[in-house]
């Protein structure tokens, strides 16, 4: 059983991500404005300016930027939690019941599994790779547990891992004969075309 090609999958994913971005955009305006975020963003820009004008050593730069980034993430923690919940609902819980996301519904494709029903664990693994859920969960778990420097290092590390997994999966879908990406292999699932019902 082969997964559908990259084109249909990317269009479906694009629709879902567009809806996610729309949700986050609306959320940004609905949540109360936080003046601390504006101040921290200005401080972030000032630190970068000082570093690129050679007025800060690399270690001083890392120390200051790490603190500001952690403070920013703390100020936006509610936004991140709601983002993670939305991803879980859209890419895990709804597909568990319906076998598809809204984008997949439009493209007439769905999740499948050779050896049984697609489970919550399967969909969670897929979302960890493709939807940024891995990075979101790691940062949410560590933000209040670690000092600024370790938190900064872990955040950057997992951001790089997240981007690398997505890129690797795209290339695998393009070049593998069965159109399976890393997320397909790890979750033992695939995306197939809906069956067309023949009218009698």
Q: Domain residue spans in the chain?
A: 6-34+76-193
pLDDT value for 154 = 95
pLDDT confidence of residue 124? 93
Burial of 170 (0-12, 13-18, 19+ CB in 10 A): middle
Q: Specify the residue for token string 């900064």.
A: 152
Cα–Cα distance measured from residue 20 to residue 103, given in angstroms and rounded to the nearest whole number: 11
Return the pLDDT at 198: 45
CA pair distance 140, 185, nearest whole angstrom: 27
Give residue-wise pLDDT tens across range 125-134: 999 988 889 9
Task: Average the pLDDT over 58-81 and give the result.
Answer: 92
Collect all residues with Cβ–Cβ distance below 8 Å to 100 and sequence separation of at least 6. Answer: 109, 110, 111
* pLDDT tens track for 3-21: 788 888 889 989 998 998 8
Looking at residue 28, what is its pLDDT? Answer: 79
How high is the pLDDT of residue 2?
66
**Longest pairwise C-alpha distance within the chain:** 77
- How confident is the model over 43-67, as pLDDT tens digits? 999 999 998 998 889 999 999 999 9
pLDDT, tens digit, 9 for 90 and up, residues 80-107: 998 899 999 999 999 999 999 999 999 9
Lowest mean pLDDT among 102-111, 149-158, 177-186: 177-186
Nearest to 139 by CA among 74, 89, 88: 74
Structure tokens at 49: 């300016």
């Amino acid at each position: 059983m082969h997964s559908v090609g990259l084109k249909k999958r990317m269009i479906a994913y694009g629709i879902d991500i567009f809806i996610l971005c729309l949700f986050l955009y609306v959320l940004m305006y609905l949540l109360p404005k936080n003046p601390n975020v504006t101040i921290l963003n200005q401080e972030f820009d000032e630190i970068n300016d000082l570093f690129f004008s050679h007025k800060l050593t690399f270690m001083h730069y890392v120390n200051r930027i790490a603190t500001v980034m952690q403070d920013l993430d703390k100020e936006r923690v509610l936004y991140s939690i709601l983002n993670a919940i939305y991803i879980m609902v859209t890419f895990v819980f709804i597909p568990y019941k319906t076998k598809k996301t809204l984008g997949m519904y439009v493209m007439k494709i769905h999740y499948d599994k050779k050896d049984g029903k697609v489970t919550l664990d399967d969909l969670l693994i897929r979302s960890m790779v493709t939807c940024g859920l891995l990075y979101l969960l790691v940062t949410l778990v560590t933000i209040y547990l670690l000092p600024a420097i370790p938190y900064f290092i872990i955040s950057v590390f997992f951001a790089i891992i997240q981007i690398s997994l997505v890129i690797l999966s795209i290339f695998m879908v393009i070049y593998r004969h069965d159109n399976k990406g890393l997320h397909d292999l790890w979750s033992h699932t695939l995306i197939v075309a809906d069956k067309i019902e023949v009218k009698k």
